[in-house]
Structure 1
Amino acid sequence: MSEYLKETPWDKRNFNINTYELTASTEDALKETVDKDGHFTLKVNPLDNPEMLMKYGFYYMDTLIEPVCKKEDLHLFVRGGASISTEYDRQELIQVAEEAFIHGRFHRDFNIPSSQADKRYVNWLHDLMDANNVFSLLYEGRTAGFYAFEQDKVLLMGMKKEFRSKGLAKTFVSQGCFEQLKFGHAHLKTSISAANVASLNLFYALGFKLKNTVDVYHKMNHTSQIGV
């Protein structure tokens, strides 16, 4: 296996093609994508000149904002009727995941069918539930969505349509962060698409501060249809 190409089997299972993430953006690394079938992801500093990337067939996909929140800076919001739990109906949360994510970079990638991008989030949530890294979000005793994490990372948050735009997100996410910090973390971090302004504003309101940004580029070399 190349020192520059890291296989990403969690994406391969969704798209039924080989998938890789590059570990460097040097020309030697880019050359290794020329004659290899598959989908490639490359993350670079936004200040880097993209000319070489485009020469080798990479296209801009997204800018990821990476905010961080220290334990002592978290703003906890409370609302009557809102709570979180480690108990949930697994299939009910999967149904939320099937239609909750539209800002992901794979949803924006014109080489990836939306159904396959949806599948990626569903499988990811399955993995996180298997690892006991999911809280259910409850409002007045009803399941409203989920909050998923891994170690000190806030990964996914999804809500049913009927509970959106009701001012519940700050309460749910801050409570999820509060419980996650109980595992002994000094801080939490997350990664948000620059296109997802609502999520950015939400995390800033909770006390998260901008730490880093990365530009994400994709490339596709394929001889067969994705997902087939």
Structure 2
Amino acid sequence: MKALFVAGTGTDLGKTHVACALLRAAQARGLCVDAFKPVVSGFDPEAPETSDPARLAAAMGRPNAWAEISPRRYRAPLAPNLAARLEGHTLAMADLIADCRTWLDGRDTDFALVEGAGGVMSPMTDDATNLDLMATLALPVLLVAGSYLGTASHLLTALEVLRARGLKVVGIVVSESLDAPNLDQTVEMLRTFERQTPIVVAPRDPDWSAAELADLLL
């Protein structure tokens, strides 16, 4: 089984947009796929269909699977540890790691992805970040960035910390940010600074096929 961790340089940059497109592209190649987002905040139980896990479920043609995709769901649109605390829960990194490993060990599929919450250095628990989860799981990383002013600094910083922890970044996706500088110019600039890992462009188009990304990763 091929597995990836989908990480972001920040929050609300299009990780789920990219993950959904990649899942659809993998299925179009005849692969059996699955996805996991160990914790999600900003979840509205009155409208679960608007959530990230529901979008992942829909991309796989399993619209009712959102609860399996994200077993830990919290209402407040805050860092997971803060959102959990508001509901009387305490998130522990050991539990998140165990959730991910149990899920990965139980997959009988060709391609699986784990999607993080927030950015690479976003807090997940009171004493650990997304990076700590990623480093323990040691999955290859697909890194998603935006195209806003300042994205170069955020992307290059994320790459430095990921590589410092021994993680392999197998692909970079620049997800189009609305009302941002010219997308092509931004990507051209990023490619002058990052030559190790291929960079793919993801327009904010719901029909984006992710074929180029699938060719790179699958």
TM-score (norm: length of structure 2): 0.31
The structure that is strand-richer by fraction is 1
Task: Write 1 or 2 for the structure with the bigger share of helix.
Answer: 2
TM-score between the two structures when normalised by the length of structure 1: 0.30
More contact order relative to length (CA 8 Å, sep ≥ 6): 1
